[in-house]
Amino acid sequence: MVAVAGAALWLGGAVWIAFVCAISVGVLYEWIRLARRAVAGPGGRAAWNFAGMLYVGVGAAMLLFLHNDAFTLAPVMTLLAAVIAVDVGAYFTGRTLRGPKIAPSISPSKTWSGLLGGVIGATLALFTAARLWQEGAIWLTPRGAAADAVSCFGTQPCWYATAGAVPLFATCLMTGILVAVCAQAGDFFESWMKRRAGLKDSGNLIPGHGGFFDRADGLLAVLFVLGLMILFQPR
Residue 201 reports pLDDT greater than 80: no
| pLDDT tens per residue, range 141-200 | 787 655 655 445 444 445 555 545 567 788 889 889 999 999 999 999 999 999 888 888
List the domain range (segments joined by +) for residue 209.
2-231
Rounded CA-CA distance 137/150 in Å is: 18
* Tens digit of each residue's pLDDT (9 = 90 or more) over 111-141: 999 999 999 999 999 999 888 888 888 888 7
Residue 107 vs residues 3, 33, 88, 114, 191: alpha-carbon distances, Å: 29, 20, 17, 12, 6
Residue 209: per-residue pLDDT:
65
Q: How far is CA 98 from the centre of its chain?
A: 24
Q: How many CB atoms lie within 10 A of CB 157?
A: 15
Report how far residue 107's alpha carbon sits from residue 103's, in angstroms, rounded to the nearest whole number: 6
pLDDT attached to residue 64: 93
**Which pLDDT belongs to residue 160?**
54
* Cα 26–chain centre separation: 17
Distance set, CA 140 to CA 16, 81, 218 (Å): 18, 15, 24
How many domains does the structure of the chain reveal? 1
The whole-number pLDDT of residue 140 equals 81
Please report the pLDDT score of residue 133 as a whole number. Answer: 83
Rounded CA-CA distance 32/29 in Å is: 5
